Amino acid sequence: MKRISLILIFAVALLVPPARGQDNEIGTTETDKRAQTGFKFLTVSTDPRAAALGDAVTAFDVGSATSMFYNPAAMAYQPSTFTLAASQTQFIAEIDYNSIAASFAPMGGLYGVFGVSFVAVDYGTFIGTVRTDGNEQGYLEFKDIGLADPSPTAFALGFGYARALTDRFSVGGHIRYANQDLDQAIKSGTVGDYTMDDLSMNTVAVDFGVLYRTGFRSLVFAMDVRNFSRELQYVEENFELPLTFRIGVAMDLVDLTSLNPNTHSLKVGIDAERPRDFDENLRIGAEYTIMNTLSLRAGYSMPTDEQGVSLGAGLQQSFGGFGFGADYAYTTFGDFDAVHRMALRISF
């Protein structure tokens, strides 16, 4: 218990914001860093199960291929030899995310669990313009001068590895090659005399996590760091990736009741998150499963600007060692349209 207490104290200390000295100058205001990171697509949750739980899944220890996106250390405890999951997310502003992840545990995970992931983003088509003095608007659209409108895209290809060092403690990593292509823009000049600039950039991002089964019933404690990378530059502006640190706890509350755990399950997860470009926030999620078949989920995070409550459901079934599942998540998003996520998964 002493070891667990020390870990918890250390993790909480990391989440406490640094003290700010009082500024005695009259008229000065305190400013916070906002919207100063790039490659934000790396932070969008693409797995319906995790999204329905408010992404409070850092300490969910029954892992699968999608664990690479949240805490790769959980992948070490996947119960099957092979898992595959494919999902589609209809995000706000008609932005589409498609992802696929697979994991393989040779020899029952004796040498760890290996995984591969891929996320592709389609931002749609934007109206490109160029300045001109030849009309009242002061600009022409790209199509008026024979150019195609910009169609930005992004993708991330990742490789993950996780290993259980003991039956209680595991570590994992996920390294991703990420590319964001904002298409082409007019670098300089006017109509009839201009040069184009290719706005494509790539980098390598690293995720790392640890997971610890405390030994008290099903209580699990975990930590992870996501999107660690070098500083980048677009044109003249420097920016960093959305580095995020999370700690989380999770437990099946049925362990505290007299209900049959083979029939009922009520997993609850709580995550504390410290992102680089937003306030510290708290995420809470709960999943009720009956007969290991039907799961109902709900999650919430606070504070947020627009994202609200997440709800979802999942079906899973096994046939002679072959597992099949389908998941759906619905997330309210304030003034924007709701976000829908769907996924299919198999395991054997």
Q: What is the pLDDT of residues 243-256, one digit of tens each?
A: 999 999 999 999 99
Query: Do residues 123 and 97 lie in contact, with contact meaning Cβ atoms separated by under 8 Å?
Result: no
CB atoms inside a 10 Å sphere around CB 320: 6
In this prediction, residues 124-145 reach a mean pLDDT of 81
Residue 6 has pLDDT above 70, yes or no: no
Q: Could you tell me the pTM of the whole model?
A: 0.86
Q: Is the pLDDT of residue 34 over 80?
A: no
Per-residue confidence (pLDDT) for residue 305, from 0 to 100: 87
Can you give the pLDDT at residue 36? 79
The domains located in the chain, with CATH, are 48-347 (2.40.160.60)
The greatest distance separating any two alpha carbons of the chain, rounded to the nearest whole angstrom, comes to: 79
Whole-number pLDDT of residue 186: 75
Q: What percentage of the chain carries pLDDT values higher than 70?
A: 87
Q: What does the pLDDT read at residue 289? A: 97
Q: Residues 66-82: what's their mean pLDDT?
A: 96
Q: What are phi and psi of 177, to 5 degrees?
A: -95, 115
Tens of pLDDT, residue by residue over 323-341, are: 999 999 999 999 999 999 9
What is the percent of the chain where pLDDT is above 90? 71
Report pLDDT for 62: 87
- C-alpha to C-alpha distance for 5 and 309, rounded to whole angstroms: 32
Asked if the model's pLDDT at residue 134 lies above 90, the reply is no
- Average pLDDT over the chain reads 88
| Closest listed residue to residue 299, CA positions, set 281, 315, 317 | 281
End-to-end CA distance of the chain: 37
Task: Report which of 312, 314, 310, 316 is spatially closest to residue 332, judged by C-alpha positions.
Answer: 310
pLDDT score at 147: 84
Which one-letter amino acid corresponds to residue 155? F
Whether residue 30 has pLDDT greater than 70? no
Task: Return the amino acid letter for 27.
Answer: G
